[in-house]
Amino acid sequence: MTDPLKIDTLVEARWIIPVEPAGKVLENHALAIDQGVIQAVVPSDEAQARFDPRERIVLDHHALIPGLINLHTHAAMTLMRGLADDLPLMEWLNNHIWPAETRHVDAGFVFDGTRLACAEMLRAGVTCFNDMYFFPEAAVQAVLASGMRAAVGMIAIDFPTAYASDADDYLAKGLALRDDYNPHPLLSFCFAPHAPFTVSDRVFAKVLTYAEQLDLPIHIHLHETVDEVTSSLKTHGMRPIERMHKLGLLGPNLIAVHMIHVTADEIDLMAQLGCTVAHCPSSNLKLASGFAPAATMLGAGMNVGLGTDGAASNNTLRMFEEMRLAALLAKGQSGRADALPAWQALQMATLNGAKALGLDSVIGSLLPGKAADITAVDFSSLELAPCYDPISHLVYAAGREHVSHVWVNGKMLLNQCELTTLDKQEILRRAGFWREQMATTRLGQ
Ligand SMILES: [Zn+2]
């Protein structure tokens, strides 16, 4: 009989849903964590004999899942939550969001907004997010303060802001930031050219060159509205996807956000080329942009992840809601109740996001050797009773209010619903400060 192995943490749970293999549910299992890495996923009684943990946590009526991955957001825009609602995309952007950004967005805004987003996401079981916003160096400071994981967008856009003067300046600043933090255990970087209608061919070519040299993802809004497609036909004589294809951007590194107004041929082309789609159903519904044919894309073999988009257009960062909506919309669109089943919605919110970010060897499922990025969902609430199938509950019945614990890289960042790294009162105080600032824009003063 060998001595039990000393480890940092043993988490015993009623269920563990590793996501790999798909649909698997392990009952009364434990997850052994040491130095931030999952060492084993084994039956609880076996774990007690095999391991001598410094900390043992028993979650009798909980499910452990991989930390959720928000594949598209603008974290700092939490400070614009509810600033302007019930408007179509271009009117919302031109008359409300862009003027507010011009007046108020600086490094302090981005730090406070991103920190608020990190707090909200951790409480909702999100452990990693793919961000696109100005002043990413301030976003990085907020992410590091929270202890969560992020893919930081090196944004490029063809108009000046307080952050950068032109697209070359944006890219230079993004690349300098990456140089400061690469490699980092919690940070990765993506190129984030904003959208086909805000970025020129010259800048796309430059982004592509860098992305190929550095093997980094390219994160872009694509085919979000009918207007985007028709104006591209006018300006460029082709649809945005065709333009991206001609520029050489379609490939395994592309994370195309939204992808609502697409033809069957475009789906086949992008599937063949290995592109990822970040499906953001709440934002698409709220801005009346339409519905991405997610089940068709998945059926074509495309990698499809889920995102909340920014809290200015959602107006929350609830990945549980995105899973549920993705599953329901797919059924409504296709007329097939078996379209996009619960296990697949959970896979989209975890492993598919990790694949898109090039991080699937590190996160996205609960397998030995991967980082301990874990979310615990408490199933003891009456609205989750009874439970026949925990995966069904995760997608169709549970919400962020049932998230009890979150670990990132083995560190507990949410303990019994309480944030361990971030100060809730300070975050609320800063949100109140920005509300006062933003209210002046809202009143048109
Ligand atoms: Zn967006």
pLDDT digits (tens, 9 = 90+) for 88-128: 888 998 999 989 999 999 999 999 999 999 999 999 999 99
**Residue for token pair 């085919």:** 223
Q: Which residue has the tokens 């698409």?
A: 284
Amino acid, res. 227: D
Q: Which residues contact 322 (CB under 8 A, 6 or more apart)?
A: 279, 280, 281, 282, 306, 307, 308, 349
Mean pLDDT of 62-88: 96
425 Cα to the center of ligand 1, angstroms? 28
Q: What is residue 119's predicted lDDT score, i.e. its pLDDT?
A: 98
- Å from CA of 73 to ligand 1 middle: 6
Tell me if 350 sits within 8 A of 371, measured CB to CB. no
Long-range Cβ pairs for the range 327-334 (8 Å, 24+): 327/395, 327/396, 329/281, 329/291, 329/294, 330/294, 330/295, 333/291, 333/293, 333/295, 334/295, 334/296
| Length reported for the chain | 445
pLDDT band at 345 (very low <50, low <70, confident <90, very high): very high
pLDDT band (50, 70, 90) for residue 438: confident
Q: Kindly indicate the confidence band of residue 443, based on its pLDDT and cuts at 50, 70 and 90.
A: low
**Mean pLDDT score of the chain:** 96
Helix or strand or coil: residue 102?
helix
Give the distance (Å) from ligand 1 centre to CA of residue 258.
8
What pLDDT digit, counting tens, does each position of 398-429 carry? 999 999 999 999 999 999 999 999 999 999 99
Q: Say what percent of the chain tops pLDDT 90.
A: 96
Check residue 441 and give its pLDDT.
Answer: 63
Cα–ligand 1 centroid distance for 311 (angstroms): 10
Q: What's the gap in Å between 281 CA and the centre of ligand 1? A: 12
For tokens 């920005």, what's the residue?
434
The Å distance, Cα 351 to ligand 1 centre, comes to: 21
Query: 318: CA distance to ligand 1 center in Å?
Result: 15
Band of residue 1 on the pLDDT scale cut at 50, 70, 90: low
Q: What is the rounded distance in angstroms from the CA atom of residue 63 to the CA atom of residue 14?
A: 6
Ligand 1 center to residue 195 CA distance, Å?
9
pLDDT at 291 over 80: yes
Centroid of ligand 1 to alpha carbon of 404 (angstroms): 28
Give 30's pLDDT tier (boundaries 50, 70, 90): very high
Model confidence pLDDT, tens digit, residues 7-20:
999 999 999 999 99
Is residue 306 within 8 Å of residue 349, measured between CB atoms?
Answer: yes
Residue 343 is predicted with a pLDDT of 98
What pLDDT is recorded for position 65? 99
pLDDT at 445 over 80: no
Q: What is the mean pLDDT of residues 201-212?
A: 98
In the reported structure, the alpha carbon of residue 11 is separated from the centroid of ligand 1 by a whole-number distance in angstroms of 36
Residue 444 has pLDDT above 60, yes or no: no
In this structure, of 25-39, 330-344, 430-444, the range with the lowest mean pLDDT score is 430-444
The predicted model gives 376-394 an average pLDDT of: 98
pLDDT of residue 2: 79
For residue 75, how far is its CA from the centre of ligand 1 (angstroms)? Answer: 10
3-state secondary structure of 239: coil
Query: Is pLDDT at 54 greater than 70 in this prediction?
Result: yes
Q: Is it the case that residue 52 has pLDDT exceeding 80?
A: yes
Query: Which pLDDT belongs to residue 439?
Result: 83
Averaged pLDDT, 69-88: 95
Structure confidence by residue, pLDDT tens digits, 149-186? 999 999 999 999 999 999 999 999 999 999 999 999 99
**Integer Cα distance of 334 and 76 in angstroms:** 35
Near ion ligand 1, which residues have CB within 5 Å? 309
